[in-house]
């Protein structure tokens, strides 16, 4: 069994467990942690995570943030100025962070989603250097219904998550779902 198959199996086992209903938003977050070199393999097989969720009698919604920054900057009225002076972009990044958080809030507030839904997020690597995943989770934690699954290309060790193996990581309360070594 390769790493991606092992992660899908581990996720299937985890999503099948009985869900506690009295958890805070922060306790409803799962990180599917995988090697950054497996990003395309994970994307090619994301439907298998959906199927595992359905087999466990839960609903699924996928939110892709891969091109969130590109969409945001393309629509921004000052985009040309930012291209001329990228250092000025720092002033507007709070708007970007708010917009990304709103996309996830909308998924949780959707009438078709419930406390039985896994909202899965892929493409968080596209946020790298614009915002931290921990900031995004902190922003939406009160809105999380059901479960939030974050596809996380990086490392989890010693209770520390590092997106894309970056130097700065953070200690976060999310539940890591990882393929076991040797699987």
- Give the pLDDT band (50/70/90) at residue 142: very high
Distance CA 175, CA 137 (A): 13
User: If you average pLDDT over residues 167-171, what whole number do you get?
Assistant: 62
Answer whether residue 50 is part of any domain: yes
Answer whether residue 83 is part of any domain: yes
Residue span of the structural domain in which 18 resides: 3-178
Give pLDDT tens digits for 54-63: 999 999 999 9
Answer whether residue 90 is part of any domain: yes
Query: What mean pLDDT value characterizes the chain?
Result: 87
pTM: 0.90
Answer whether residue 126 is part of any domain: yes
- Give the pLDDT band (50/70/90) at residue 152: very high
Structurally, the chain folds into a number of domains equal to: 1
Give pLDDT tens digits for 78-113: 667 666 666 766 777 888 899 999 999 999 988 777
Answer whether residue 26 is part of any domain: yes
Contacts of 5 (CB under 8 A, 6+ apart): none
Answer whether residue 183 is part of any domain: no
Q: What is the CATH number of the domain that holds 106?
A: 3.40.50
């Amino acid at each position: 069994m390769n790493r991606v198959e092992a992660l899908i199996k581990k996720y299937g086992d985890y999503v099948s467990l009985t869900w506690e209903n009295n958890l805070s938003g922060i306790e409803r977050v799962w990180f599917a942690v995988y090697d950054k070199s497996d990003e395309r393999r994970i994307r090619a097989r994301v439907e298998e995570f959906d199927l595992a969720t359905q087999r466990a009698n839960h609903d699924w919604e996928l939110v892709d943030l891969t091109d969130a920054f590109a969409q945001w900057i393309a629509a921004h009225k000052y985009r040309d100025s930012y291209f001329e002076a990228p250092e000025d972009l720092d002033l507007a990044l709070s708007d970007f962070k708010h917009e990304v958080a709103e996309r996830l809030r909308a998924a949780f507030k959707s009438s078709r989603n419930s406390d039985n839904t896994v909202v899965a997020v892929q493409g968080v690597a596209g946020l790298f250097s614009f915002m931290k995943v921990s900031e995004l989770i902190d922003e939406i934690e009160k809105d999380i219904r059901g479960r939030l699954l974050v596809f996380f290309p990086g490392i989890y060790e010693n209770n520390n998550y590092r997106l894309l193996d970056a130097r700065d990581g953070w200690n976060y309360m999310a539940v890591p779902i990882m393929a076991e070594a040797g699987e």
